[in-house]
Amino acid sequence: MARRNKGKYVNGILLLDKPFGLSSNTALQKARYLFQAKKAGHTGSLDPLATGVLPLCFGEASKVTPFLLDSNKSYTCTAQLGETTTTGDKEGDTLQTREIKPFTAKELEAVLDKFRGNITQVPPMFSALKHNGQPLYKLARQGIEIKRKERAVTIYELDLLEQTSDTLSLHIKCSKGTYIRTLAQDIGEALGSGAHLSMLRRTEVEPFDCKKIISIETLESLIKEGKNLEALLLPIDSALPSHPSLVLSDDELKRIKHGLKVSRRDLPNSQIIRLYDKENTFIGIGRLSSDLQLTARRLMRTN
């Protein structure tokens, strides 16, 4: 007989402040343990050396995870000039040490401007991308180099925050799939000195308000104080604020729950429609079908 998954049904989204040195999955499992949650997942990993916003989806919130994968993200980072590494960050072995060529503020701005807007990147070998089912980082650790295709990404914002004789601290807002390590390396190459990433912090994940994120230490303290951690969770529909919504009648709700379509004159022309019952309870995600009717995509378990 299969073992039943222990834990309780917890539903909602936690904006975790991932600590330095933990993998995203380890941080997820720590939070899941503290919530005693039956089910949880994250929406885009951070490297162990990175910190910052890691949205965790508990229970039914895991059903909106696919709709968050295209989210824009913001970061602050520090590029260490004059040294390249095997991994593109300070965790790797030194590949090359070079003299840092002097440059003016105008020259630096011209270099940064080359990386704004639509650019292409070659994903690093030390990444979770797969080749024939194997993560690239596992192949890289075996000394195997695989040719990677360039990918298109968008850098919406790239600003200098601080500069020292051998470092650049930057603010970046970018599209999904952007590798900040690669961006730091490419900027270093454009400056003629090479670079690696010495610090990375994710500060924003759209569409969430990330001004207040919760650390594992805070969760542990609240447990000791006897507080209810579930009060920290954002509602599931907070992941979809920009998408149109519909309130369904009892009959319409019954049809949707039975896999049937609903005809209405006011259906939004959208593949993501937030659905609510008369009590304004979020009951799932619908879409406009090819025959211009409402059909369900993902429904929440509400009992």
Average pLDDT over residues 179-204: 96
Does 188 reside within a domain? yes
Instruction: Specify whether 78 is located in the same domain as 131.
Output: yes
Instruction: Specify whether 179 is located in the same domain as 81.
Output: yes
Instruction: Specify whether 251 is located in the same domain as 147.
Output: no
pLDDT in tens, 222-237: 999 999 999 999 999 9
pLDDT above 60 (res 32): yes
Pairing of strands 51-58, 12-18: antiparallel
How much is the pLDDT for 1? 38
pLDDT in tens, 246-287: 999 999 999 999 999 999 999 999 999 999 999 999 999 999
Binned at pLDDT 50, 70 and 90, residue 2 comes out as: very low
Does 23 reside within a domain? yes
Q: Which of 172, 151, 170 is nearest to 161 (CA)?
A: 170
How much is the pLDDT for 125? 59
How much is the pLDDT for 87? 87
Q: Is-catalytic flag, 47?
A: yes
Does 5 reside within a domain? no
pLDDT above 90 (res 140): no
pLDDT in tens, 94-128: 989 999 989 999 999 999 999 999 999 987 756 56
Residue type, 17: D
Domain end residue (candidates: 183, 205, 227): 205
How much is the pLDDT for 93? 87
Q: Please tell me whether residue 275 adopts helix, strand or coil conformation.
A: strand
pLDDT above 50 (res 12): yes
Q: Are 32 and 25 in contact (CB under 8 A)?
A: no
Binned at pLDDT 50, 70 and 90, residue 134 comes out as: low
Does 130 reside within a domain? yes
Q: Are 253 and 299 in contact (CB under 8 A)?
A: no
Q: Please tell me whether residue 279 adopts helix, strand or coil conformation.
A: coil
Instruction: Specify whether 36 is located in the same domain as 80.
Output: no
pLDDT above 60 (res 4): no
Q: Are 77 and 197 in contact (CB under 8 A)?
A: yes
Pairing of strands 130-131, 134-135: antiparallel
Does 122 reside within a domain? yes
Give one DSSP letter per residue of 172-193, joined into a string.
Answer: EEE-TT--HHHHHHHHHHHTTS
How many domains, in total, are found in the chain? Answer: 3
How far is it, in rounded angstroms, from Cα 267 to Cα 280?
18
Binned at pLDDT 50, 70 and 90, residue 7 comes out as: confident
Instruction: Specify whether 81 is located in the same domain as 132.
Output: yes
Mean pLDDT (the chain, rounded): 91
Does 7 reside within a domain? no
Instruction: Specify whether 79 is located in the same domain as 65.
Output: no
CATH code of the domain covering residue 139: 3.30.2350.10
Q: How far out from the chain centre does Cα 291 lie?
A: 34
How far is it, in rounded angstroms, from Cα 297 to Cα 84?
46
Q: Are 188 and 84 in contact (CB under 8 A)?
A: yes
Burial (Cβ within 10 Å: 0-12, 13-18, ≥19) of residue 180: buried
Residue 115 CA: distances (Å) to CA of 74, 118, 120: 15, 8, 9
Q: Are 275 and 292 in contact (CB under 8 A)?
A: no
Binned at pLDDT 50, 70 and 90, residue 3 comes out as: very low
Average pLDDT over residues 60-75: 92
How much is the pLDDT for 168? 98
Is the bond preceding residue 123 a cis peptide, omega within 30 degrees?
A: no
Instruction: Specify whether 121 is located in the same domain as 165.
Output: yes
- The reported pTM is 0.90
How far is it, in rounded angstroms, from Cα 38 to Cα 58?
8
Q: Which of 17, 47, 89, 237 is catalytic?
A: 47
Please indicate whether residue 133 or residue 140 has the higher confidence score (pLDDT).
Answer: 133
81: domain range? Answer: 73-205
